[in-house]
A and B are shown apart, each in its own frame.
Chain A
Amino acid sequence: MALTGLQIYKLLPKTNCGDCNLPTCMAFAMQVAAKKVSLDQCPHVSEEAKAQLAEASAPPMKLVSIGSDENKLEIGQETVLFRHKEKFYHPTGVAILVEDALANDELDKEINSINRLKFTRVGEEIGINLVALQHKSTSAEDYAKLAEKITEKTSFPLILVCQNLSIIKSALEAIADKRPLIYSANRENFDKMASLAKQYNCPLAVSVESQEELVDLTQSIKKIGVDDLVLNPGIKKTGDTLENLTKLRRLAVEKVFRPLGYPTIVFTNEEDPFQEVIQASTYVCKYANIVVVKAKDTWQLLPLLTVRQNIYTDPQVPNAVEPKLYEIGAVTPDSPVIVTTNFSLTYFTVESEVGNSKVPTYISVVETEGMGVLNAYAGDKWSAEKIAKTLEQQKVREKVNHNTIIIPGLVAVFRAELIDEFGWNILVGPEEAARIPSFLKNEWKPAGKK
């Protein structure tokens, strides 16, 4: 929790010497609180004060990074309970669980299918982030080999799921430079696990059932010198885990309770393929920073990753697509041209309905600052003139051999002026995107050839 100006003032020399280029220590404190100047600007501030300020200004939930290169995953540093209060910063890492008992060719198959778990939605690539290698039965040597193989054949950072020290050590010797997450330290092994995490500079998950014990463990581990921690509140029924994750998030961001100010990791325990995705999606909505799933089918991962994409969308930024001429399907010069706004939701709804219609169509997206059809009209973000200008810029006259433009039914009012501005026939489309397919099939007719 950031300090107030007054709290910072108390840490200053209070001499009003002016060496910081501000008239008084109080003025300086206010500027530091507002993050406009750095504490370093004061040449006289004590080391103790610096340390206190650094501690106080540290984010309430630590940022933990897993993996080493450009594929590393950063989780944590969340600041709110509800996305509307600000936003969620670091999307939940989705990890796929792989068991070590697999035969070699099965493992290859598994790795291949894991590498396919990525999709493009709303112009963004969404995919899984981690592979969790569950130790069941292999020797330390074989486990390390498997870990090595997975890091070679995929780009995903690993979670080493094993409570056995010598096996973890053997894997770390092989792949510590890839900074896997060690899962996990528990009541019995925490000091040795923490020493390994320290020795190999890897993040460490801490797993115990009760909050009090979790506090004891994180405190003890921090003393050993490991602070890149991820908390596991136990593997329980969905409802209990939901409550635990909620409590941990509230403790971290509302109470700024440092001993539990770390990101979280949970595992699904539902066996049914539907219920498992339901369970994992619950944890994405409510506060897991990593969720480990057994699900590997694309029809399971697509909805799960879409939930994450939706929930982690920044609510403060208008959701906009690039204003340009989009081609949906195999367009030809005979294809219809539909005009719409660059509000993502409007655009993707129109795009989806055009797709459903199976009529190849140009969608001309006008820059409306991310506003929908009516909002943009009410807010003067678009007009007949702007649409005409956009159509010219997008070279629509050259793309098609008819001379008809379809505008949204909600802005039928643009029609007359747009005819004047652009010179083409203007067809008023439906008010609801859901009617686009029937409109394109039944009502759209090129009003004439050039």
Chain B
Amino acid sequence: MEVPDVKQSWPNSINEVTIGATKEGGGTRSHAITVGGTRTLPFLYFEGNIPHRPVIAMEVWDIAPTDWPEELGKYFSDVWDDPGKWAKKCVDEFEADFICLRLQGCDPDGENKGSHEAAQAVERVLKSVAVPLIIWGCGNDEKDNEIFPACSQTAAGERCLLGTITEDNYKTLVALCKADKHKLIAESPVDINIAKQVNVLATDIGLAPEDIVIYPSTGALGYGMEYVYSIMERGRIAGLSGDKMWAMPLLADIGREVWKVKEAIAPEEEVPGWGDHIQRGPLWETITGLVYLQAGTDIFIMWHPKAVKELKKYIDSLMKKNSRKN
């Protein structure tokens, strides 16, 4: 009996987005990273090629965190007084594909650092490591609009991935991105329509769709992950089916979400029967990443070296040899 063919053919492919510029590209990075380009659902090689490997950025702050769990302090507390050293450790020791610098120190509710200091942190990281860079603001719209011009200019030509723009706040970053040749992270609050709307707004004022990565918010495993999972699946199917405003690579901000939930942090004394938290924490982060990988995520931002290592190992095992490596 003949078995029916279940291969699906998709009319559209996901945009390729390149982050980081080498000397030839007008920057100083040792290499660039390209994500996207696929014309199939995750890892279905019988259906289409997956030209670029999903990548993992490790997170670095412009200040020493006071609320990171001890399990992470163990790896980073010797370097987190200096974002440059911190980034270098992530790249040299923990083999991060690239770095996400989060300008947490600029948060007006926190240390409230100014644009000059933010730009200095960007410069420190750019000088300390040669990999491409994500620059993520403090999350306060007004403050981000104030600090990003200096940061963007400091990194002009480096083709960084800047974030984030939202439905209500996108004009400043879009202008900077166009002027200084960066890429943008478009954020939306677990909402498939708003995710699209941000892209419509940004492209309406001249941003190229190929300069956008979609960040539909992230929930940790056990904390609303399935909502984001389904939005990513729906969105990716829409993108492959021809919706140009959903044909962008996807980003998941894993570390920040995972390392505040008790499943990742609580020692066994506090949660009897949950097992060793030294293993459980990084595994929680790894598995959160894995599930988003299955929904189509192209870029991961992660915290724990072991989680990064394990997810990378798994991604490598899924990548076929004919695909180009980043």
- Tell me if A's interface is mostly helix, strand, loop or mixed: helix
Chain A to chain B: the 9 pairs with minimum beta-carbon distance, closest first = A299-B275, A298-B275, A299-B280, A250-B6, A345-B224, A84-B230, A310-B226, A303-B287, A285-B294
Given contacts A122-B222, A237-B317, A307-B221, contact A277 B287 (CB under 8 A): yes
- The number of A-B residue pairs with CB atoms under 8 Å apart is 146
In the complex, 24 of the A-B residue pairs with CB atoms within 8 angstroms, ordered by the A residue number, are A82-B230, A84-B230, A215-B1, A238-B314, A259-B1, A274-B283, A277-B283, A278-B287, A278-B290, A278-B314, A285-B294, A297-B275, A297-B276, A300-B275, A300-B283, A302-B263, A302-B274, A302-B280, A303-B283, A311-B291, A348-B223, A352-B223, A353-B260, A435-B109
Closest chain A residue to B237 by CB distance?
A: A82
Question: Would A211 and B3 count as touching, CB distance under 8 A?
Answer: yes
Given contacts A83-B230, A306-B222, A311-B229, contact A243 B46 (CB under 8 A): yes
Q: Are B227 and A298 in contact (CB under 8 A)?
A: no
Contact A275 B313 (CB under 8 A): yes
Task: Considering the complex, give the chain B residue whose CB is closest to the CB of A433.
Answer: B260
Verify A299–B279 contact, CB threshold 8 A.
yes
Q: Are B260 and A306 within 8 A (Cβ)?
A: no
CB distance from A201 to the nearest CB of B (A): 27
Q: A257-B4, A286-B294 are in contact. List 18 more A-B contacts (CB 8 A).
A: A83-B229, A119-B273, A122-B222, A238-B318, A247-B6, A257-B3, A275-B314, A277-B286, A281-B291, A300-B283, A302-B263, A303-B221, A307-B221, A310-B221, A311-B229, A348-B223, A349-B224, A352-B261
Interface residue A260 (Cβ < 8 Å from any Cβ of B) = yes
In the assembled complex, the CB of B138 is this many whole angstroms from the nearest CB of chain A, namely: 13
Contact A315 B274 (CB under 8 A): no
B75 within 8 A of A: no
| A255 adjacent to B4 (CB under 8 Å) | yes
B contact residues around A425 at 8 Å (CB): none
Complex Cα gap A285–B314 (Å) = 15
Find chain B residues with CB under 8 A from A282 CB.
Answer: 290, 294
Q: Which residue in chain B gives the minimum CB-CB distance to A214?
A: B3
Pairwise interchain contact A242-B43, C-beta atoms closer than 8 A: yes
| Binary B-proximity of A288-329 (CB < 8 A = 1, otherwise 0) | 000000000111101110110111010100000000000000
Contacts of A82 in B (CB 8 A): 230, 233-234, 237
Cross-chain contact B6 with A251 (CB below 8 angstroms): yes
Q: Which of A237, A313, A352 contacts B226 (CB 8 A)?
A: A313
Could you tell me if B227 and A345 are in contact, using CB atoms closer than 8 angstroms?
yes
Interface residues as binary, B207-238 with A (CB distance below 8 Å gives 1, 0 otherwise): 00000000000010111111101100110010
Chain A, 244-283, CB within 8 A of any chain B CB? 246-247, 250-251, 254-255, 257, 259-260, 273-275, 277-279, 281-282
Q: Does B284 contact A (CB under 8 A)?
A: yes
Residues of B within 8 A of A349 (CB): 223-224
What A residues does B260 contact at CB under 8 A?
352-353, 356, 434
Residue B310 lies at the interface, judged by CB distance under 8 Å to chain A: yes
Closest to B310 in A: A274
Bound complex: CA A278 to CA B282 (Å)? 12
- Chain A contacts for B219, CB-based, 8 A: 345
- Chain A residues with CB under 8 Å of B284's CB are 303
Smallest Cβ-Cβ distance to B293: which chain A residue = A282
Judge if A121 is at the interface, Cβ distance under 8 Å: yes
Give how many B residues have a beta carbon under 8 Å from the other chain's beta carbons: 50
CA distance A243 to B8 in the complex (A): 13
Q: Is there a chain B Cβ closer than 8 Å to A123's Cβ?
A: no
When chains A and B are docked, how far (Å) is the Cα of A434 from the Cα of B139? 13
Measured in the bound complex, the distance between the Cα atoms of B261 and A434 in whole Å is: 10
A83 and B226 form a contact (CB under 8 A): yes
Asked if B23 is an interface residue, CB under 8 A from chain A, the answer is: no
Q: Does residue A152 face the partner (Cβ distance < 8 Å to B)?
A: no
> Which residues of the partner chain B approach A247 to less than 8 Å between Cβ atoms?
6, 46
Which residues of chain B are within 8 angstroms of A281 by Cβ–Cβ distance? 287, 290-291
CB pair B223–A311 under 8 Å, yes or no, is no
Our pick among B230, B280, B310 for the contact of A275 (Cβ within 8 Å) is B310
Assembly CA distance A121 to B282 (angstroms):
19
Docked CA distance A301–B2 (Å): 39
Q: What's the Cα separation between A238 and B273 when bound, in Å? A: 29
Whole-angstrom distance between the Cβ of B260 and the nearest chain A Cβ = 6
Given A83-B230, A307-B287, CB of A299 within 8 Å of CB of B261: no
Q: Which residues of chain A (319-353) have a CB below 8 Å from chain B?
A: 345, 348-349, 352-353
B-contact 0/1 string along A182-213, CB 8 Å cutoff: 00000000000000000000000000000110
The answer to the question of A379 belonging to the interface, with a C-beta cut-off of 8 Å to chain B, is no
Whether the Cβ atoms of B283 and A311 lie closer than 8 Å is no
Q: Would you call A163 an interface residue if the criterion is a C-beta within 8 Å of the partner chain's C-beta atoms?
A: no
Inter-chain contact A307/B230, CB cutoff 8 Å: no
Q: Which residue of B lies closest to A242 (CB)?
A: B43
Question: Are B3 and A278 neighbours in the complex by a CB distance under 8 Å?
Answer: no
| Contact of A356 (CB < 8 Å), options: B4, B262, B320 | B262
Annotate A112-132 by CB proximity to B: 1 below 8 A, 0 otherwise: 000010010110000000000
Nearest residue (CB) in B for A240 is: B45
In angstroms, Cα B33 to Cα A281, docked, is 28
- CB-CB < 8 A to A234: which residues of B? none
The reply to whether the CB of B39 lies closer than 8 angstroms to some CB of chain A is: no
Contact status B6-A297, CB under 8 Å: no
Bound Cα distance A273, B234 (Å): 32
In Å, the complex CA distance between A264 and B226 comes to 22
- Of chain A, the residue at the smallest CB distance from B270 is A355
A239 at the interface (CB under 8 A from B): yes
Given A247-B6, A260-B3, A307-B287; A345-B223 close (CB under 8 Å) = yes
- Contact partners of A121 in chain B: CB under 8 A: 222
